[in-house]
Structure 1
Amino acid sequence: MVCCAHRCVRCHHASREPLVSILSIRRNEIGRLPDELGGMHALRSLRAHSNNLETLPTSVDGLVSLELCDLSSNRLLTLPNDFSYATALTRLDLSSNRLRHLPLDFGLLFSLQSLDVSCNQLADLPTTVSSLKSLQILKIGENAVVELAAAWGGMTSLVELEAQTNRIGRVSPNIGELLQLQRLDLCRNAIEELPATFGLLTKLHDINLRSNLITKIPDEVGALKQLNTLGLAHNRLERRLPDHLGLLTRLTHLDISSNNIGSLPPSLGALEDLETLNASKNALGNLPQNLTFLTSLTDLDLSCNRFKDMPMLLCGMKNLLRLDLTSNIIGTLPREIGALTTLTKLHLRHNLLKSLPLEMVELEKNVKDLNLEQNPLPVLPDKWHLRFGLEAHATRPAGYTSNEVLEWVRAQRMFHDHATEEWDQKAGLYLTGRASAKEFVEGVRARVGEGVWRPYLEPHVLRVFFRAKKNGLPDAYHKISEAEVAERGQVATELSATRDDQMRLCAADAQARIERDKRRGSVQSTIANARLAETHRLNRICNSRSPR
């Protein structure tokens, strides 16, 4: 055994002189390798990564037994042409260097199974790579490649291809020849279109096409029956996804976020194994009813869309764990949301919520991550928060934290149904003033029961009373039908008209009272003036009769 810069070199004693088979000189500051390296004919493993190598000796053609070579994280600008004579190579790592091209004879490395040339400056691979029939893993990410060229199709044993963060604008139809391909990563490129031959890659398990310029998914993608993960985020997909996506019955993760998709195909309901669906940052306003069949779905992100209401079908997804509806225009939630008892995360931040259904209390046990910030929530009592800063005002327009809102819902749940019953039975008395607010509180308290009633509920009950007296009916905190909305609107209109009539009557009565006072004042003034005039006359008479 020989040591080199604290790294060990293992030797096999097949003869009198040691034959070195494993050489590790990694993480030193070696600037060059000696020409004698080529004489190590028995060397099978060379690890020289994380050094300062800029070139390799031409004698590397003597490494005829070399199977593993790791030269990553150096400063290599080029490889000698003789490097191609290391025909026993199965694993080659040249990542994180400064390579601009590979030798033309690179295709002579017939035994190569894994090649990593990521993080270099390569614009392409030599056409001879089509001869690498044994290559299974190719990593060429973070280079300057502009095309997935036709020659790449010759690597027919390829199982994994990573070409992320390049400048690829075109994918050759020859990609359809990679029949063994299971994982494909082409994210962060400039791809606009996928060839129809994409559908021939039937062994694909994982496709990442994130951050490209793709405007359309070819129908042939529906033939990828083994696909588990499909990433299409940050593209230019518009309108509706193809129905053929419903044929990907083994799909477990689908990411279509940050596009401009207006609707989802009903065929997505056939993806019974789907666990994660990210459709955030699109133009969705509704969901197809067939999504109720996604019985395996646990993560659903619909944030930053155009939903005016929470889709009712979501309330039937019994296995849903995480639901994100942030940044929509949702005003009310359905009562059925209380059925989502498996939820651990619920985000409703930055919507137009006026209230929360009282059934939200059912979620309190499991939901650990609840976000209700940036909602107006006008039904909550006014809370003085002028002392809050601008950021707090923007985060909590109503002045309440998410936990405080849930606490308010919990209090409402204790009495609201009883308050509604009390109002429905005696609305005529309360609206006409024949029964007082105190009597309303006592009526609700009796319905709730002394064992449940708490003194802190009284202000809440009084608020319900005064809002009902103003609007004609107690507030509904959940989503209601259009017929009920119309009925409530009619009641409010009639009550408002009655109030207007009463105001007009009061105004007319007050005006009549003023006129009467004016007339009474005028008569009294006339009498007073007559009496004063009579007094003056009598005084003059008396003065005229008095002796001089």
Structure 2
Amino acid sequence: MSRFKSGAKINPKSGFAKENESPVPHGLLKSARKSGQLNLSGRGLTEVPPSVWRLNIDTPEEANQNLSFGAADRWWEQTDLTKLILSSNKLELLPEDVSLLAALVVLDVHDNQLTSLPKTIGELQQLQKLNLSHNKLRELPEQLWSLTNLRSLQLQQNVLEVLPQGVGQLANLDELDLSGNQLTEVPDSLGGLNNLVKLNLSHNKLKSLPLGISGMTNLKLLDCTRNHLENVPPVLAHMTSLEQLYLRHNKLRVLPELSSCKMLKELHVGNNQIESVEAQQLKHLTALGVLELRDNKLKNLPDEVTLLEGLERLDISNNDISSLPCALGNMTKLKMLSLEGNSLRTIRRDLLTKGTQEILKYLRSRVQEQPDGNPQDVPQTAMTLPSQAKVNVHAIKTLKTLNYSEKQEASVPDEVFDAVGKDPISSVNFSRNQLCSLPARIIELKDTVTDINLGFNKLTSIPVEFCMLQGLAHIDFRNNLLESLPEELESLTKLRSVILSFNRFKDFPEVLYRLHTLETILISNNQVGSIDPIKLKDLERLSTLDLQNNDILHVPPELGNCTSLRALMLDGNPFRHPRAAIVAKGTDSLLEYLRSRIPS
């Protein structure tokens, strides 16, 4: 007679249920007792089985079986668990039983749903590395500050609004990452972390830095990118070990005082409101290799910048600089000089596109031609018209430039176009006015104009007639109110660069995918939500793509196939992958990472 009742449903996995009930395989726990390491990353865990916390306390299951043990299976000779990885799960809390793993040296619970930590975490006195990043932590227990053996504390991408003074007790800490939180201030006690080497405070809401920060005498990297800093305390100059300083995307009006930072190798102060750089601010920075001043309000660059003999990268893009020290041409170590987005009068636009070495070569020739006086100065000859509009006739005649910028006018007077006469104009600059529409008479220049700057106006649309300027190679529409571009722009078959930063684009303009001559696209600080990597790959000449500060939630791995890119900028978007550390490694590493993520 069958031992099963008639009609009863039989579980095909009967007899194996006990093993399958546990989300952590028995063999994995057995291995952990030997190695002292347990990796449970990416298993979809909503909670950690008690058997993990009691791994070094409970007698293992095999001890209760009638088995003979070989030398490799002596469970009584187990090793205490020293490394536990629980990352990329769905954990909402850690139980107080975490204290049972008292020998832990590394605890990694990043990329979970933790909203709090148990007080018993303070009992893990051997802990040296704690990764709590990418969770939902709003506060931290005071017991955390008793972990005085901690060397690395990762708290980035949480929702912390306050950092307690107790953080100063972690005297052995050499790396602290607080980026991507909601901090409005950090405590003065940070100065007690005099072994700290790396401090990341980026992507918070800091309005100032504490004076005690100067106590971190061994700090080499300080990242305060994307905060609300209006100034930096002078005590920063006392941090003599500082090698990398990131202050990008703040509200600084002056360059910080860094006279004693003679070890400083990289200074990043782009996307601020700095109007000038003084000679004394640079002359002591003898070790500087990277100076990034892009997207500020600089009108000139002091000659003393040429004394930075080790400088390899100088980025002054998107400022108001009209001339350069010709002695830059003698800086033999300079490998990258970024100048786009300035109204340079002495360097032809076509020369700017030929790269750093050609620009330096040109500047060297200017030093030889005009050793006396200021070779970069261009004679200013103006003609006053009935409308009181001033037109630089010299620029029209010799530089082929029509300049009516910084007038704050709502329209361009007819007298400006009348002054051109029959002279061929290659460059037009109507930037920094109040233009709500394109000047109708600009079409008169269609046969010769190659470069047009309409930045910092109030343009809401570009008329189809604009596409009659068939010779255009460079267009600057930054800081307007544009939401779209006309499809007829496709007819501009000589277009090499287009600047659309600081507008209102919600979508990447489709017409740009069809402009196969494009080498540079700058569309930062808009609301672009996605890009099409397949269409982008067709732009085989594209070398610079700036998508910073948009709303991109997903970076498609196929973007890695756009191997023509030499500069890909993605900072300031809300995507989670790739991690900020990957993006920070530069374009080549970023593209390689993306390619590795393409499904095979």
Partner residue of 1:250? Answer: 287
Partner residue of 2:43? Answer: 28
- How far has the Cα of 1:150 moved from its partner? 0.5
Partner residue of 1:132? Answer: 170
CA 1:238–1:67 in structure 2 vs 1: closer, same or farther (change >3 Å)? same
CA 1:306–1:25 in structure 2 vs 1: closer, same or farther (change >3 Å)? same
Partner residue of 2:59? Answer: none
TM-score relative to the length of structure 2: 0.53
Report the 3-state secondary structure (helix = DSSP H, G, I; strand = E; otherwise coil) of the residue aligned with 1:198: helix
Report the 3-state secondary structure (helix = DSSP H, G, I; strand = E; otherwise coil) of the residue aligned with 2:276: strand
**Which of 433, 456, 471 pairs up with 1:396?**
471
- How far has the Cα of 1:153 moved from its partner? 1.4
- Once the two structures are superposed, the pairs formed by residues 289-304 of structure 1 within 5 Å of their partners are 289-304=326-341
Is the contact made by 1:9 and 1:23 (CA closer than 8 Å) also made in structure 2?
yes
TM-score relative to the length of structure 1: 0.58
Letter in 2 for 1:9: L
Partner residue of 2:306? Answer: 269
- How far has the Cα of 1:87 moved from its partner? 1.1
CA 1:335–1:25 in structure 2 vs 1: closer, same or farther (change >3 Å)? closer
- How far has the Cα of 1:280 moved from its partner? 1.5
Structure 2 residue 115 is the aligned partner of structure 1 residue 96: no
- Once the two structures are superposed, the pairs formed by residues 529-548 of structure 1 within 5 Å of their partners are none
Once residues 328 and 27 of structure 2 are traced to their aligned partners in structure 1, the CA distance between those partners, rounded to angstroms, is 59
**Which of 292, 313, 321 pairs up with 1:284?**
321
Partner residue of 1:143? Answer: 181
Letter in 1 for 2:322: G
Report the 3-state secondary structure (helix = DSSP H, G, I; strand = E; otherwise coil) of the residue aligned with 1:53: coil
Alpha-carbon displacement from aligned partner over 1:123-179 (angstroms, at most 9, x marks no partner) = 122211111111111111110011132021111111111111100111001111111
CA 1:102–1:251 in structure 2 vs 1: closer, same or farther (change >3 Å)? same
- Once the two structures are superposed, the pairs formed by residues 305-454 of structure 1 within 5 Å of their partners are 305-310=342-347, 320-321=356-357, 390=465, 392-394=467-469, 396-397=471-472
Structure whose alpha-carbon radius of gyration is higher: 1
**Which of 96, 112, 122 pairs up with 1:74?**
112
Partner residue of 1:44? Answer: 82
- How far has the Cα of 1:10 moved from its partner? 6.3
Partner residue of 1:444? Answer: none
Is the contact made by 2:447 and 2:471 (CA closer than 8 Å) also made in structure 1?
no
Q: Which has the higher contact order (CA 8 A, sep 6+)?
A: 1
Structure 2 residue 286 is the aligned partner of structure 1 residue 234: no
CA 1:335–1:214 in structure 2 vs 1: closer, same or farther (change >3 Å)? closer
- How far has the Cα of 1:261 moved from its partner? 1.3
Q: Count residues in correspondence.
A: 356
- How far has the Cα of 1:207 moved from its partner? 1.1
Letter in 1 for 2:128: T
Alpha-carbon displacement from aligned partner over 1:198-241 (angstroms, at most 9, x marks no partner) = 1122212211110001112233x122111111110011111334
Once residues 224 and 153 of structure 1 are traced to their aligned partners in structure 2, the CA distance between those partners, rounded to angstroms, is 17
Once residues 81 and 397 of structure 1 are traced to their aligned partners in structure 2, the CA distance between those partners, rounded to angstroms, is 65
**Which of 104, 118, 121 pairs up with 1:83?**
121
Once residues 334 and 155 of structure 1 are traced to their aligned partners in structure 2, the CA distance between those partners, rounded to angstroms, is 46
Once residues 301 and 280 of structure 1 are traced to their aligned partners in structure 2, the CA distance between those partners, rounded to angstroms, is 6
CA 1:173–1:334 in structure 2 vs 1: closer, same or farther (change >3 Å)? closer
Is the contact made by 2:163 and 2:186 (CA closer than 8 Å) also made in structure 1?
no
Once residues 397 and 127 of structure 2 are traced to their aligned partners in structure 1, the CA distance between those partners, rounded to angstroms, is 67
- How far has the Cα of 1:355 moved from its partner? 9.1
Question: Mind listing any 5+ residue stretches in structure 2 that lack a counterpart?
Answer: 1-19, 57-79, 369-394, 401-425, 430-441, 451-462, 474-490, 497-600
Q: How much is the aligned-residue C-alpha RMSD, in angstroms?
A: 3.9
Is the contact made by 1:204 and 1:227 (CA closer than 8 Å) also made in structure 2?
yes
Is the contact made by 1:10 and 1:22 (CA closer than 8 Å) also made in structure 2?
no
Partner residue of 2:28? Answer: 9
Higher helix share: 1
